[in-house]
Structure 1
Amino acid sequence: MQECPEALNTLKYFKEKANEYHVVSAGSLLGTILAQPKSYPVGMVNLLDIFPLTFDEFLEATDPALYTYYDSIQKEQTIEEIFHSRLSEACNYYFIIGGMPECVSSWIKYKDPARISQIQRELIEIYENDFSKHNGKINSGRILLVFRSIVAQLAKPNEKFMYGAVREGGRARDFEEAIEWLVSAGMLNRVYNVSKMEHPLSAFDKLDQFKLFVFDTGLLKHMAGIDNSAILLKSSYPFKGALTENYILQQLQGQFEIAPRYYSDKNSEIDFVLQNGTDIIPVEVKAGEDKSAPSFKRYVAENHPAAALRFSKRGYRKDGDITNLPLYLVCKTRDLL
């Protein structure tokens, strides 16, 4: 659609003079195009953002019977070990395949990880080619540099985005437009650090401190060069924590009216901070079954939040004031609060 502004403008005439027709149009990276349109039919068009499949949608597509059980899970329900094991295995496959429709479709048809890798490689190449095609005044080389730096950014101990990690001596003024472009395009998800874990969260954003995550976990896995066997064999690897956080964020997107934040200062760090109504919910992310999280536990003990969530590979259970949710239940977070 973005290749033809006249077609976009024509939508208002369908609304005004041919309202009996339902017209659907699509375009990639539209967030960047519509930011500065020559002419846009305000009030005449409903915008719908399309995201990769979340884990529950992936499960519904690949294993309808198991999805039926998954969909029935209620708050504080005991999940039998056989279902916990099967859902955990499905979640591992989601880490490999991700939610891009062509990848999921290929998996359903062929069950071949090599085909998935080929599709992911092609998708990344297509997106990178799109950067130069749609970037307007912004230097496409800088967009590419930022995008290709994400794996190294997330591999750092604190994961905070550093301009100097994109290019030696890099400053905000060099790359902030490129970042804004990638976020507007939906390629990257930005999570701000907050100075206070209080309602309303967005009032406490530190606009110069943020993390950037990739919009699809399967694509990030491919970009990082993680071998599928490392995920399936549940072995430890340095990027495991970052990949898991990327997955958690992808599943949380859209569940809450306010986008997730994180909290970090000299003494502590909370992986994600959620706002549910006026309640502030701290979130700890564990790639395995480890329960050590001193900052998280200290915050819970001192502030007694309405809910405190730990996402890990452990089962669904309460540990004192902390609720442990298995990684496969992230999509149901809001329903289970």
Structure 2
Amino acid sequence: MLYRKIEKLIEEHLKSDTQKILLIDGARQVGKTYIIRYVGQRLFENFIEINMVEDSIGDRLFANTKTIEDFYLQVSMIAGNKMKAKSDTLIFIDEIQAYPHLLTLLKFLSQDNKFTYIASGSLLGVTLSQTTSIPIGSIRKIRMYPLDFEEFLYANGMNEFVISAVQNKFKELQSLDENMHNKMMDYFQKYLLIGGLPDAVNSYLNEKNIQSVRNIQNETHDYYAADASKYDEEKKLKIRRIYDLIPSNMENKKKRVIAKNIENKKGKTFTDYSDEFEYLISAGIALNVQAISNPVFPLIESTGKNLLKLYLNDVGILTSILYGNNIRAILDNKSSINLGSVYETVVASELTAHGYKLFYYDNRSKGEVDYLIDDYNSLSAVPIEVKSGKDYTVHSALNTFVQNEDYHIKKAFVVSNERKVQTKGKITYIPIYYIMFFNANSTLENNIEF
């Protein structure tokens, strides 16, 4: 079984005294159902699982369920013999987005407190935005992502002792020795190919067949694109077009979305497609990085530029689109292949999965910095530059950025393939795999000793 960090969170929530219902959000195929089922069956003697998508195309028992009494009645038709005490009965409502009215009903199920509940779904961000009565105060919504790089290491047999030792090196800003660095880079390159979709990871572990992995990635990419057809009839073609443009946008120098290219219409602006962007981001299939021109803490207060970068939610899907079955493009680190977009996608997915809201610095005269994140301990923004080639020390825009006294920058990072950790002024150079230890829940100041 694949190790998932969210397992501990789910278990702690289900064991707690809270009446809030845990709602696991996330894109399709990231492993929501599997991990909930695994924890639920282990903790509860009576585990009841109801898939609302299956119900919606089958018996439609819950299609018109508006009261808790009706809900209990329908559940009893499926598993009445398992409806025991709250302490040993868990009702798992899977794919709840199929029936948006059940999201409202969660509030009353929580208040009734008769059983323990957990729910999951995809497109929940979209569904909740269209729900007239959001059950505020009754649910705890958590987003689940594909396996991050640390989880990928565990899947490949690396144990907690080794990962903890690597993390301590990161905290102390020390380099790994040559052999360990090469091992980490080997795993990192494989992660670029395999990504974090559980089915793709399991396929790789069982078969070591890139064709099988790519088939899973391509199918998932098609699923994500097809989901747009379930949305607003007027907007679905534009959503699909924006989604399909993401890989090619990544190959451009600026990498940002160009509004006029979406429908090939001059005069179109970012705001013309705000609903379409929101769909892709809320659905969890695209990660957004918003431009900012006044990078002072907190960054959210300085947003306003109508510029946006979108990244695919899984790096394996991206490399499948870009390179197909040719794994040498990545494993051989060919100088003719620019892996900048691939590396930036990994960094975006790692930082997002670890709780950061992402921004980038865009200034017509001073250049661009790849990522900005908030550091709540030092109350300052932290710039991160991503380098995939050998010229990792060349970053004129970052140099100018950290020297600007108006921005109050205390530290910055450059991530690259380089093994050696070193600090020059405000800029610290670290190997790309150390990005897995950046965590918004524990400040960078606490993570790193200066």
TM-score, length of structure 1 as denominator length: 0.91
The 5 A counterparts of 1:212-231 are 212-225=310-323, 227-231=326-330
Give 1:71 shift. Answer: 2.5
8 A contact 1:282–1:309 mirrored in 2: yes
Quote the Cα distance in structure 2 between the aligned partners of 1:283 and 1:269. Answer: 11
Structure 1 position 178, deviation (Å) = 1.3
Aligned amino acid, residue 9 of structure 1: T
Calculate percent identity across the aligned residue pairs.
25
Closer, same or farther: CA 141–103 of 1 in aligned 2, 3 Å: same
1:235-279 deviations in whole A, cap 9, x for unaligned?
A: 135551111111111111154554343333223221112220212
Q: 1-side partners of 2:338 and 2:278: how far apart?
A: 25
- Structure 1 position 79, deviation (Å): 0.9
Q: Which has the larger radius of gyration?
A: 2
Residue in 2 that maps onto 1:52: 146
SS in 2 for 1:26: strand
Helix, strand or coil for the counterpart of 2:220?
helix
1:33 aligned residue: 127
Answering whether residue 360 of structure 2 is matched by residue 261 of structure 1, we say yes
Q: Secondary structure at the match of 1:64?
A: coil
Check the 8 A contact 1:193/1:264 in 2, yes or no.
no
Q: Find the counterpart in structure 2 of residue 8 from structure 1.
A: 103
Which string of whole-angstrom CA distances, capped at 9 and with x for unpartnered residues, describes residues 295-326 of structure 1?
21233345483211000000141142221111
1:147 match? 243
Post-superposition Cα deviations, 1:164-188, rounded to whole Å, max 9, x if no partner, equal 2223225135533211211121111
Choose the corresponding residue for 1:330, options 431, 435, 439.
435
2:236 alignment partner AA? S
Structure 2 contact 290–308 (Cα < 8 Å) conserved: yes
> Structure 2: how far apart are the matches of 1:298 and 1:279?
17
The amino acid that maps onto 1:100 is L
Cα distance in structure 1, aligned partners of 2:385 and 2:345: 13
Contact conserved, 1:260 with 1:275, CA < 8 A, in 2? no
Residue aligning to 1:122: 219
Query: Residue in 2 aligned with 1:204?
Result: 302
Give the corresponding residue for 2:210: 113
Aligned length: 334
Q: Is the 8 A contact 2:293 2:305 kept in 1?
A: no
Superposition deviation, residue 138 in structure 1: 4.5
1:251/1:320 CA distance change after superposition, 3 Å: same
Match of 1:282 in 2: 383
Q: Does 1:81 align with 2:178?
A: yes
Q: What one-letter code is carried by the residue in structure 2 that aligns with 1:299?
A: F
Question: Residue 286 of structure 2 aligns to which amino acid in structure 1?
Answer: L
Match status 1:72 vs 2:165: yes
Equivalent position amino acid for 2:343 in 1: T
Amino acid at match of 1:309: F
* Cα distance in 2, alignment partners of residues 296 and 279 from structure 1: 16
Structure-1 separation of matches of 2:186 and 2:291: 32
User: What does residue range 91-106 of structure 1 map to in structure 2 within 5 Å?
Assistant: 91-106=188-203
Q: What secondary structure, in the 3-state scheme, does the structure 2 residue paired with 1:202 have?
A: helix
For residues 113 and 337 of structure 2, what CA distance do their matches in structure 1 show? 57
The 1-side partners of 2:332 and 2:399 are apart by: 30
Partner SS, residue 160 of structure 1: coil
* Secondary structure of the structure 2 residue equivalent to 1:270: strand
Counterpart-to-counterpart distance in 1, 2:246 and 2:281: 13
Partner letter of residue 448 of structure 2? Answer: L
Asked whether the equivalents of residues 264 and 270 of structure 1 are also in contact (C-alpha less than 8 Å), the reply is no
Partner residue of 1:298 out of 393, 400, 412: 400
Question: In 2, distance between residues paired with 1:48 and 1:109?
Answer: 30
Give the direction of change, closer, same or farther, for the CA distance of 1:178–1:237 in structure 2 (3 Å limit). Answer: farther
TM-superposed CA distance for 1:294, in Å, is 1.5
Structure 1 segments unaligned to the other structure (5+ residues): none
- The answer to whether the Cα contact below 8 Å between 1:5 and 1:38 also exists between their aligned partners in 2 is no
What TM-score do the two structures reach when normalised by structure 2?
0.69
Structure 2 residues not aligned, in runs of 5+: 1-95, 439-443
Q: How big is the alpha-carbon RMSD for the aligned residues of Structure 1 and Structure 2?
A: 2.1
* 4+ long deviations beyond 6 Å: none
Measured after TM superposition, the shift of residue 152 of structure 1 is 1.6
Task: Between 39-48 and 170-179, report the one with greater CA deviation.
Answer: 170-179
| Structure 1 residue matching 2:256: 3-state secondary structure | coil
Q: Which amino acid aligns with 1:159?
A: K
Distance across 2 between alignment mates of 1:157 and 1:257: 24
Q: CA offsets per residue over residues 1-22 of structure 1, 9 Å max, x none?
A: 1112343333233312234x32
Q: Does the 8 A contact of 1:11 with 1:41 survive in 2?
A: yes
Determine helix, strand or coil for the equivalent of 1:175.
helix
The alpha-carbon deviation at position 203 of structure 1 amounts to: 2.1
1:310–1:325: 8 Å Cα contact kept in structure 2?
A: yes
Deviations 1:27-51, CA, capped at 9 Å, x for gaps: 1111111101144333222111111
